[in-house]
A and B are shown apart, each in its own frame.
Chain A
Amino acid sequence: MSISTLLENYSEYRHIHPVDDVPHNPYKWAMAIDLDACSGCNACSVACYAENNLPVVGREKFAHGQVMHWMRIERYWDEDGREFPDQGARFLPMMCQQCEAAPCETVCPVGATNHTPDGINSQIYNRCIGSRYCSANCPYKVRYFNWWDYPTTDNVWPAEMNLQLNPDVTVRSKGVMEKCTFCIQRVTVAKNDAKTQGRLVRDGEVQTACQQACPTSAITFGNLVDPNSKVHKKWQAQQVELDKDEQTKDMAEGGSELRGYRIYEQLRPFPSVMYMERVRESAI
Chain B
Amino acid sequence: MADNNNYRDTTHQSDLSISITPAKAGVGLLFAGGALTMHRILCLSALLMGLFSAVGVYAADAQQSEPVDPGIEGSAIDKSAKEKSDSGGSSFAVWESKYFASSPDNTGPAVEQPIEFPHFRHAGDHDKGGMEINCMYCHTYARRSLVAGIPPVQKCVGCHQSIESVRDKPRIKKLFEYWDAKKAIPWKKVHDLPDFVRFSHERHIQRFIFQLNRPVQEVCGYCHGDVKTMTVARRQKLLSMGFCVTCHEVKHPVTAEGGTPIGDQAYWYSMRKPIIDASGIIKAQGPNDCSVCHK
- The chain A residues found within 8 Å of chain B, CB to CB, are 15, 18-19, 21-28, 100-102, 105-106, 108, 111, 114-120, 122, 124-127, 168-171, 181, 184-185, 188, 192, 195-196
Contacts and interface: CB of A to CB of B under 8 A. Distances in A.
23 contacts: A18-B262, A19-B260, A21-B261, A22-B256, A23-B257, A24-B258, A25-B258, A100-B260, A101-B262, A105-B265, A114-B290, A116-B289, A117-B257, A117-B259, A126-B196, A126-B294, A127-B294, A170-B295, A184-B291, A188-B198, A188-B291, A192-B202, A196-B144
Contacts of B257: 22-23, 25, 117
Contact of A196 (B206, B269, B291, B292): B206
Contacts of B282: 22
Contacts of A181: 291
B10 interface: no
A120 B196 contact: no
Interface in B257-295: 257-263, 265-266, 268-269, 282, 288-292, 294-295
Contacts of A169: 295
B203 interface: yes
A70 B174 CA distance: 50
A181 B198 CA distance: 15
B263 A106 contact: yes
A115 B195 contact: no
Nearest to A17: B260
Question: Which of under 10, 10 to 19, 20 to 34, or 35 or more describes the interface residues of B?
Answer: 20 to 34
B194 interface: yes
B23 to A, nearest CB: 31
| Interface of A, helix, strand, loop or mixed by DSSP | loop
Contacts of B259: 22, 115, 117
Interface of B: 144, 194-196, 198, 200, 202-203, 206, 256-263, 265-266, 268-269, 282, 288-292, 294-295
A111 B269 CA distance: 8
B206 A114 contact: no
Given A21-B261, A114-B265, A116-B291, 15 more contacts: A114-B290, A117-B258, A119-B258, A120-B291, A122-B290, A124-B290, A124-B294, A126-B194, A127-B290, A127-B294, A181-B291, A184-B291, A192-B200, A192-B202, A196-B202
A122 B289 CA distance: 9
A106 B257 CA distance: 20
Contacts of A168: 198, 295
Contact of A115 (B200, B266, B269): B266
B266 A185 contact: no
B262 A125 contact: no
B190 to A, nearest CB: 19
B258 A18 contact: no
A108 B265 CA distance: 9
Contacts of B194: 126
Nearest to A28: B258
A170 B269 contact: no
A195 B282 CA distance: 22
Contacts of A25: 257-258
A185 B262 contact: no
